[in-house]
Amino acid sequence: MTSFSIEQLYIAHGNCSNHREHILSSESCGCFYCLRCPHCGTDAVLPEIMPGIRLCPSLLLAMRKHFFDE
């Protein structure tokens, strides 16, 4: 599993809103709340490609742990 810094998680988090064009132009996307694409209705959907980081399952897991797990 890839390790992500807190800075990388916040950079990725900055891509989970106001991103309709990026989502529509991506081949895939993922939700770091439900870990699927997007089924839960939470505003936690990331596009496949973001500046400086690429969507992968380990990123979604790290973000879920940081932003949603207590």
What are 18-51's pLDDT values in tens digits? 888 888 888 999 999 999 887 788 889 999 988 8
* Domain spans of the chain, in order of start: 6-67
User: What is the predicted pLDDT for the residue at 2?
Assistant: 74
Do 42 and 50 touch, CB atoms closer than 8 A? no
- Binned at pLDDT 50, 70 and 90, residue 70 comes out as low
* Model pLDDT for residues 46-67, shown as the tens digit of each residue: 999 888 888 999 999 999 999 9
**pTM assigned to the model:** 0.86
Q: How many CB atoms lie within 10 A of CB 11?
A: 15
When the pLDDT of each residue in the chain is averaged and rounded to a whole number, the result is 88
User: What is the predicted pLDDT for the residue at 18?
Assistant: 84
Between the alpha carbon of residue 42 and those of residues 1, 3, 5, 7, 51, the distances in Å are 25, 24, 23, 22, 22
